[in-house]
Every structure is written in structure tokens, then in C-alpha cells.
Structure 1
Amino acid sequence: MKKKSLMFFLLLILVLSTALAACGGDKKESGKDADSSKEKTLVFGRGADSVKLDPAAVTDGESLGVAKNIFETLINFGEESTELVPGLATKWDTSDDGLQYTFELEKGVKFQDGTDFNAEAVVKNFERWMSGNAESTPYFQSMFGGFKGEKNAVIKEVKADGEDKVVITLFRAQAPFLKNLAMTPFSIASPTAFEKFGKDFYKNPVGTGPFTFVSWKRNDSITLEKYKDYRIEGLPKLDKVIFRSIPENSARLNALTTGDIDLADGINPTDAKAIESNDKLQLFKRPSMNVGYLGMTVTRKPFDDKKVRQAVNYAIDKQGLVDAFYEGQATVATNAMPPVITGFNEEIDAYPYDPAKAKALLKEAGYDGKEIELWAMPVPRPYMPDGQKMAEAIQKNLEDVGMKSKIVNYEWGTYLEKAAKGEADAFLLGWTGDNGDADNFLYTLLDEDSIGSNNYTFFKNSKTHKLLKDAQIEVDEAKREKLYKEAQVILHDEAPWVPLAYSTPLIAGIKEITGFKPHPTGSDRFDTIDIK
């Protein structure tokens, strides 16, 4: 072989070897799990900031949605239902008289600050709730009647039986007791943390959940990170979750389409078709378990008069609102709870749109024409995508029958706080069911025991109070249904609300998201989400 040819041959071998080495390197790199070398972060766009990150201290969905991923409850709901499944308690037993519950706890679990999860920790959580008040732990009052020493209290005592067993004794049986315990407000927090931080625990939350709290930039973002010692192997799949507050629905959708966020709730029904036709996005529909309503504070004039409240029900074009703002993703509401809840009274019809009847009732009531305040929600919620526009439409309906109104706005946390104190004349709000039980709608929202917590109308009625209390202790489901149906008849007549809509909330996400299962309660766990 000639020298020139030999050099060319050697050079060719060198080039080929380099190329093969490069290919081999590429193959090795691509053979690695790309996701394992890259941090998986989900950015979730939502309509408002959280109020507090202490689940026991809040009632708003934006707070509870974050808390759901930091904390856990003794009992869980199913992935897409309100069926009861084990949580931090592996199993439980109930005495024959329904007055005692025994919970066996999962062993070896630690809170995110290293504190042991055990029976003593559970007892301390109950003591914290039971010694609170309607302001500090509002859900406890609504779901368990009252606090330690109060006559309406359901829970008598909570005791540890060894390291891994808790016994709860009740003053009286409560049919939805277990479902109530599965609600996010009754998540088990680290006693070390809430004893250390006191009133500031809501800024330093510590639970046993799949994600740990990292930081909170008010009205901007909340950042959580994967809890590496989480009790369920293989979860969470994400390394980080960022909750971003983007109040405007259109801005939130734009952030999704430009890739600034990965998942967005509060999607306008009008945008559903555009999302479904976008090959980079996917649309999720949350199972409907909610009601949007206009509440009237019955301790304030003119709504202390039943005829005025009935007149407002006749004055509002509910079907028109549903057609204008929900784009086929809602139906007109007839009761204070949705039809998916057992005990819904199908024989009750919504007040028809009848301005003439409304005017007649206002005249009978001697309404003086004084202007009222109509409070509009400042944030989109699953049950009401656009509170401001809804308020404007209702304002026109009321004006047509001679009731002038001034639309009032507040920041979300202030809105809830002031409404709970009875400072609104009429206010837009709604409710997403926490546990799938009628008690969680009718008693929680419209019973006298819930005034100061979730009953913003301050409505009370001796007949409905008896029916709802009887239903709580009735273990025969058929009899419970009958009691709830009777209560709905009275509530329909007394009209503290204008039930507006039962909606199907929409959520949109990028195509790469897998494992997301929207929950009917509105509080979603992100531990099963992956981004491919």
C-alpha cells in the first residue's frame, strides 16, 4: 500500500471511530431516563391567592387546595369520588351505638419536620380544634356542632390507646362523622410546628403529605417541593409544584398557551372549544358537586322580610345567566345542594323568572326603594367563572323590578371575612361539597349553628334546625333523605338564597400532563401527576 493511501486509510478509520464514539455517547445519554436528570416542575395557574395555609383555619378553596398537598387526613376520599378509603388511619371500627370510633394508625410515618406521627400527635390536633372558636377553626363548628364545653358539641373526648391507636367518643351519634373527618380542614398537622409557630403556623405549614412548603410570595406564588420521605413509595412523581395567582381568566389561559404555566383552573366555558382544538392542550372536567348562589343577609333590611327575598328570586333570570356565562357547562339550580347529593328534592322547581310577580311582592312588603349593596366575587370560582359580570347582569334584573343596587368589590380574603360577619346586603358566593353528604350543604351553609362560620346569610329557622339535627343522628339513610327533603321545602319558601347554577368546572393543561384526576370536592392531589 502506498504511503499516501495508508495515511488516507488511517485518517478514515479515525473519523469513523470518532463518529461511532459520538453515536455511542448519544445513545447512552438518550438511554437515560431524561426525566430523572431534569427536575419536574408543575406550575398551576389559579384565580386567587390562598388566605392561610393552615387547613383548620380556612374555608376557601384556594387555601384548601394547597393544603391538600402538604397535609393528610386520617381517612381519604377515593381518587374521583367521596367513597371513604384509608389515609393516615389504616382501618377503623364503630361501636354499635355510633358513639365510639377506634382508628388504627399507619406506623413509621413522620411529619415533614421529622416529628413522629402517632396517636399522641392525633390527639393534640383534636385538642387544638376543639379548644378553638368559630374564627380560628370555622369548619370545626360547622361539621362538629361546637367546641369544648359548648352544648352543641359532637365530640366528647379523643384519647390515645398506645402508640398507634386513637379512640374518639361522641356525645351523640353523627351520621356523616367519618366523611367529615376525611375533609381537608381536619388534616393532621405537626404538633411541634403548630406549638412552635402559634398564630403564624399558617405561614409555616407542616404535615405528612407528598409535598413540603418552601415559600409564599403573597398574591404571586406558593412553592412546594417533593417530600422525599413520603410514606407512599414512588410518590410524588413531581419534584416541585408552584401555585401561581393569575386573577384574570383570559390572562391565565394565555399563560397556559404560551407555556408559562402547565395547568389552569377557572377556565371560561366559552374557551372550552378552543382548548379542545389545540393539539398542545387538553381539557379536564371536574365532576360536578357544587352550587353558585346569591345570598341575602336576613338580619339586614330589606332582606329581613321573606317577601323581599322571594321577590329577588322571581326577579333574577337564572336561565339567562346560565346561558350567558356557562356555555352549556351548567344547569339552573333549584335547591341549596346539587342533584348528585343523596337527599336532593327533585319535586322543587326553581322560582320562575317573573318580574311582575317580583314587583307585586316588593309592593306587598312595603319596600321603600332604598339602594342595596350587591357584592361581586373578585375571583373566578368553579361554581361561578365570572362574578363581576354575573353581578352586573343581576344588577340589571333587580333594577327592572325597582330595586337599585351598587356593586361592591373587595379582595378575596376580605370579601369572605366581611361576609362571614354579616356585613353584606346581598352577595355572590357558592360552595363545592367537601364530603358528598347533604349535611355539608344544608347544615353547614344554612343552619343557625353555622352562623359565624359558613352561614353568611345569618338565616335561622327552628323547623329546619330540628330537621337537620335529626338527620345528623339518623343512621337509616331513607329516613335521612326524607328529613333533608323536608328541610329543602322550607328553605325554598324562606328563600335566604337565590340558587343560581350547578356547574361543571373546567381545567386545562398541557398535553404532557398525565395522571391528573380532578376531584369533585375541588381539592386536588398532585402526587400522581407526571409530566412526560
Structure 2
Amino acid sequence: MFGMKIRELSRREFLAVSGMTGAGLVVAGCGGGETIGGEEEGGGDGQPQEGGTFTFGRGSDSVTLDPIHATDGESLIVCRQIFDGLLDFEPETTDLVPALAVEVPEPEEDGLVYTFPLREGVTFHDGTPFNAEAVVFNFERWMNSGNEYHAGGGPQASDFSYYSGMFGGFDEESIIESVEAVDEYTVRFRLREPQGPFLRNIAMSPFGIASPAAIQEDVEEFWRNPVGTGPFRFVEWNQGSTVRLEKNEEWWGTDVPVEEGGGGPFVDEVVFQSIDDNTSRVAALAGGQLSGADGLTPDDVPTIEQDPNLKVIFRPPLNVGYLAMHTQKEPFNDVNVRRAINHAIDMEAIVQAFFGETGEVATNPMPPTVPFFNEGVERYPYDPDRARELLAEAGYEDGFDTELWFMPIPRPYMPDGRGIAQAIASDLQEVGINCELVTFEWGTYIERTGRGEHPMALLGWTGDNGDPDNFLNIHFNSANATEENALNIAYYENDEVDELLNRGASTIDEGEREEAYMRVQEIIMEDAPWVTIAYTRPPLGFQNRVQGYLPSPTGGESFNSVYLSG
């Protein structure tokens, strides 16, 4: 491989310094999952208290509240409160637990069939019943492009890109061949081919089950009038400002143990408050206007820890930040240019400056908490002289001018998009690459990078399900380099990588999956469509009286267990 090894922490060591208590990392075989732990936040000594308003500050507003159309974390964390899926992830881990299904099914017919028994007596927030027909309705809406309800999502809808990305496409391309209501409370899935991460995909937030009646009533407006079965009901959305939810008194999960994702909901109301300026958001937390806040920078951590009324909780690390180069555009269609850019950036200095102790310099495009992380892959060393040599070999001995797009809001994997972009641009200028810095409003940024309008762009990914497919297939399969709503924003295409990714996804044999994903990581480093930046354990700030917040590695916590003490 290329260059010296910068990654100094082993997978086990990274977990250790991430403050993980309780269960450690477990990489299980088929049917198992990863317990990647987190900083424990229990419910206090007494019984959870009822009532009050939990106000959660964040860096940007949601884009849509129709979960199947959401691709951004700010949309999905709200949808997480309103909708339930068939399966869920155990709090603080990516281990599977039942949700609207009453058990995690075993594969049948060598992984081609899965049968889900469903909970009885569950109702949607509009009072209509949840049953097998509702599950069939949702999946047929998602998978069939000719379905009359294959629509909606709002002006920045993703066009069902999560379904396409996780299940191979629509119609005849969909891995899911059919979804059948066996009886009122049993649903059976038949696949065209086995899919290794099938159950983990099913558990992801975009596949929350929506009320068929509400969608049939007005599919085009459902994105801002969502109806699910979750612990909180939608009340109102003042776009650009707040989303307000109220307690669902009839939630099916109230009597389910907290460690299985149930309990509560305890607070009467949840308010999501958008405050784009990070300093203002932290000030609002310190001033008591917020119960909790996301999108904190590493510099905020000591400030909050020193306040006797506040506390910090860390999410377990399951993310990666990156710089993507559009490999179909000149000069980034030349691998020597991409390798030169990797060599030109002093990533150790950038991570130390902007992430501090919350981050680790990234090597692979998935974090070491994910199974089949290839510890043998070494990132390109910081070597400006080698960068200049590679640029000259590519015909750019005098460098070139380009644009570097950066994110307008803080995200767990990118706490300061502008600052990181400025640092990268400064390093690139030293080897003759002059970057104009460009940004847009968050929804527009996602939309335009999804159309491939950028030459280079900063972005990142928080894993949805703890499976390598969710990082590697999403970002490097050419099938996801689409004209609209692309998830592969490097527009990277490699036939061998596609074949390996498809092989890894289409088997339930863990040995075959490991072999495929280990090789993919090697090829991606060689082809260099990204400059990986950091893996982080994202900090969140809370009032001390907030109890029961269980941080999720996926970044999409359910607030059902949260209560306010005192």
C-alpha cells in the first residue's frame, strides 16, 4: 500500500479511549451484531419522572419528515420520534431488537425468505390500525416506481434514495421481490437473492412504517404532516425554527424494558430548536433555554464540563468525515491528482486542531468499530514534495484552480466545515492548487452535491446500522453515483469494487463478506476517490436534570426514555 502508517490506535484501543463502558465490542456471526457501547447515562436513582418539555438544540432544520425521503441526520432524528420500524437497535449499540415485529426473524430458504410476526393492538397516531397490510402498503410504495404513492417528500425529497441504496433499486432491480401479508399480523418478505445486511437495513430509521391512510389522504403533503406509531406525535413544524411533538399516550413500547428500546415516553412535549450558530446554541444551553444540544465542537466540551449545571455525553464512534473528489471531472479523473491531494494535506494537524481528543485521523472510509475494518490499510503520508511530483506526472506542474465546497453547519463528523476547508485549502495552495471556498444552505448543499455539481466537497457519514455495507456500498458502488440524490458523491466507478461489494452484500456467509470488504478497502485507498479525515465520538451537552438520554452510535436517539428530574 501507499506510504507510512499514520493510524496509531488499534481498533480495541480506539474503543477504549472513546470512554466506552458496559459492553465491549462484539463482532458476531450471522444473526449477531456489534455492541459498540457508549458513555452510560442512566436514569438516576429514583423512578423516571413524568411531564415537562425536552427542548433539543441542533445546527440546522429538518429537510423532510417523510422518513423514506430523508437522508440527513436532522430529518431522521425527528422521524425517529414519530415512526417505528419493524426492528430497531438496542440502545447504545447496533444489536437488533424487535420493534413493530415481535421477534427478530431467522433467515429461511438460505436467506431468501424472512417472516415477521407483528405486534397486535398497535395504532397509528391517526387512530388507524397497524397490521400486515400497512407493512405491505409501505414497502410497495417504496419499491415500486409505478405505485401511485411513490411520490411526495417535499421540494428537496431524496426520491426514495435510501430504499434504492439499501435494497439495490426499484421494481425488478429491488432485492426485495415481494412482501406478503400472510395473515393480519404476519408479513413475509421474499428476496431475489440473499442480502447479508437485510435485517440491519430493515431496522434503519428511513424504513419507519407510516400510516397508509395519511399517505392516501395527501401523499404530497405527508412530508410536513407525518403520521407514524412512535412515542411522540407530530404537532407543528415552523420551518427554519422549531418542530414540536407531543407524547403518544398509547405507545406500544411503554411496557417494553428500557434496555430493549422501550419505556416512557416520560416528557409531555419534545421541541427541536434550530440554532445554526454554534456559539449561540451553546449559550442557549448554558442559559437554560435548551435541555440539550447536538453539533457541539470539541472546544465546547471543556466549557460545558466546567459549568456545574451542565454535563457532556459522548456518542459511540460510528462515523467518518471526508473530502470527496468528483472522479468523472477533470482533473480529478486522474488518479495521480487524487493521490497528490491526499499527500498534500496535513491531516494529523487538522484533526488535532479541529477535533482534539474527540477524533482520530481516519484511514479507511469506515470506522474501526465496524466489522471487517482493514487495519493493514495505510493512509497517504503528508508529503508536499511527493504531491508536487504526482501533479507534474499528471501534467499539472503549475497546479490548477478549483472549488472546494464545505458544509454550512456542524455535524458530528465535521464540527467546523469552514475552518477545516480553510486549512485544507491552505495546504493545497502550497502545492499549487488554488481553491475557491463555496457553500450553500444545508438542504441545497445536499441537493447539489447529490447532483454532482461540485469538483471537491466536504461531507461525512454516520452509520445507520453498524454493517460495512452501509459505509462501503453506499459511497463506492457505481449504482449510487446517480444523476440526482447520489450517495456516491465522488462518482467513483470501479467494476472490481462493484463486484466485490455486490458479493459482500449478497451472502450471509461471514467469511465471504470479510474477504470482499477487506479487499474493497485496499482498492479504495489505491484509487483515492476520497481524502478521509476523522472518526469521532460526537459530544452532546445537557442540563444536569436531563436523565435517561441513551446515546446511539447511529446518531438517531429515541427520546422515549428521557425524563427531567427535579
When normalised by structure 1's length, the TM-score is 0.91
2:63·2:74 contact (CA, 8 Å) conserved in 1?
yes
User: CA shift at 1:197, angstroms?
Assistant: 1.6
Work out whether 1:54 is the aligned partner of 2:69.
Answer: no
Higher relative contact order (CA 8 A, sep 6+): 2
Structure 1 residue 263: Cα displacement: 0.1
Query: What secondary structure, in the 3-state scheme, does the structure 1 residue paired with 2:265 have?
Result: coil
Offset from partner CA, 1:450-505 (integer Å, 9 cap, x none):
12231111111001111111111222212211210101110001111000100110
Query: What is residue 97 of structure 1 aligned with on the other side?
Result: 110
Give CA deviations for 1:329-382 in whole Å, capped at 9, x if unaligned.
111000110011111110011111111111111111112643111001000000
Higher helix share: 1
Secondary structure (helix, strand or coil) at the match of 2:327 reads coil
Q: Runs (4+) of structure 1 moved beyond 3 Å? A: 33-36, 132-135
Aligned length: 496
Deviation at 1:300, TM superposition (A): 1.3
> Which residue does the alignment assign to 1:258?
287
Displacement of 1:297 in angstroms is: 0.9
- Segment of structure 1 superposing worse, 376-385 or 265-274: 265-274
- The residue that corresponds to 2:402 in the other structure is 372
Q: Do the aligned partners of 2:132 and 2:183 also contact (CA within 8 Å) in 1?
A: yes
Contact kept, 8 Å, 1:197 with 1:204, in 2: the verdict is no
Q: Answer yes or no: is 1:193 the counterpart of 2:205.
A: no
SS at 2:219's partner residue? helix
Q: Which residue of 1 aligns with 2:91?
A: 79
Stretches of structure 2 lacking an aligned partner (at least 5 in a row) = 1-46, 151-156, 255-262
The counterpart of 2:316, out of the listed 271, 281, 287, is 287
1: CA distance between counterparts of 2:443 and 2:217? 25
Question: Does the Cα contact within 8 Å between 1:369 and 1:402 map onto a contact in 2?
Answer: yes
* Percent of matched pairs sharing the same residue: 46
- SS across alignment from 2:454: coil
Unaligned runs of 5+ in 1: 1-32
Alignment of 1:295-444 (within 5 A): 295-367=324-396, 369-444=399-474
More displaced stretch, 320-329 vs 131-140:
131-140
Q: Tell me, in whole angstroms, the C-alpha distance in 2 between the residues paired with 1:48 and 1:275.
A: 21
Q: CA RMSD in A?
A: 1.4
CA distance in 2, matches of 1:314, 1:194: 50
2:268 maps to 239
Q: Which residue of 1 aligns with 2:23?
A: none
Provide, for residues 126-177 of structure 1, a one-character-per-residue CA deviation record: whole Å limited to 9, x for no partner. 0011024894100011100010123xx2110111011000010000000100
Q: Which has the larger radius of gyration?
A: 1
Separation (CA, whole Å) in 1 of partners of 2:365 and 2:355: 19
Which of 205, 221, 225 is the equivalent residue of 2:242?
221
Task: Give yes or no for contact 1:338–1:502 (8 Å, CA) kept in 2.
Answer: yes
Indicate the residue corresponding to 2:558 in structure 1.
Answer: 525
**1:35 to partner: Cα distance:** 6.2
Answer yes or no: is the 8 Å Cα contact 2:71–2:158 preserved in 1: no
Q: Which moved more, 1:91-100 or 1:349-358?
A: 91-100
Measured in 2, the distance between the counterparts of 1:262 and 1:96 equals 49
Query: How much has 1:299 moved relative to structure 2?
Result: 1.3
Equivalent in 163, 185, 191 of residue 170 of structure 1: 191
Render the CA deviation track for 1:407-433: whole Å, top value 9, x for unaligned. 001000000010011100000000000
The one-character-per-residue Cα deviations of 1:178-204 (angstroms, maximum 9, x if unpaired) are 000000011100011112121221111
| Inter-partner Cα distance in structure 2 for 1:365 and 1:48 | 40
Trace 1:149-168 onto structure 2 (pairs within 5 A).
149-150=172-173, 153-168=174-189
CA distance in 2: counterparts of 1:197 and 1:407, whole angstroms: 41
CA distance in 1, matches of 2:304, 2:441: 29
Q: What is the alpha-carbon distance in structure 2 between the residues aligned to residue 507 and residue 455 of structure 1? A: 29
Whole-angstrom CA distance in 1 between matches of 2:227 and 2:277: 31
- Is this contact kept in 1: 2:391–2:399, CA < 8 A? no
> Normalising to structure 2: TM-score of the pair?
0.86
Question: Bigger shift: 505-514 or 123-132?
Answer: 123-132
